[in-house]
Structure 1
């Protein structure tokens, strides 16, 4: 540009249109992974109900799996069946050894803390008649 207006103003129009094009591109939002603030999920403060665990029938079904593993699809013998098999594997006609072993069964581990587990195991032995000797049978517990 000059004072005399000798320059051609054609270049100014091209620059102006290019500037307008760039400014319009800058005003458009860019597509991308950014998420607007309105779509962000809001969290609520935690209360004591959020930290409670409610137990129902699971409390009674979990120990039952020890006696009947087939309830959860495991094809194995239960606790008393395995103990009975172990006792039957003793040498035949050795009543003294059998009496000593069956009178001193000790339950250990976390599962022995289930209420009534030792009484249940003792009752199952009495009902199944796996132990044929006459005498006191005691099943100890680690509780």
Structure 2
């Protein structure tokens, strides 16, 4: 059964609640991020995806998480400053989350179902709010596999 995120409520960086259904009509790449991880360099690739596809109805949504190796210890403001200054990030960075909480408690039900293993796991969501695909941390944002899936979702 397809996993839908429409009714998932998340906390924005400012502390307010938002339904992910507000993003319907856009293709999303939801990522659990950390600023002190070996995969942190992927912020550059995520920003490149945002720059390449943002005008076509795509957005990266980043959810800072300190659950893996305590690699995201800062406040949301510190995280936003780091991402903006270091990588030029202009996609949304949400409030810090536990990997067992929204939106990941819903996303992990997507095939292949199972827990998030580490920072920078990626979930591709179609325009209708259905999770299309899941990518482990080692899948780089500029991989042909991921870019092809984003392009196919935008064309759908």
When normalised by structure 1's length, the TM-score is 0.29
**Which protein shows a greater Rg?**
1
Q: Which of the two has greater strand per residue?
A: 2
Q: Which of the two has greater helix per residue?
A: 1
When normalised by structure 2's length, the TM-score is 0.27
Q: Pick 1 or 2: higher relative contact order, CA cutoff 8 A, min separation 6.
A: 2
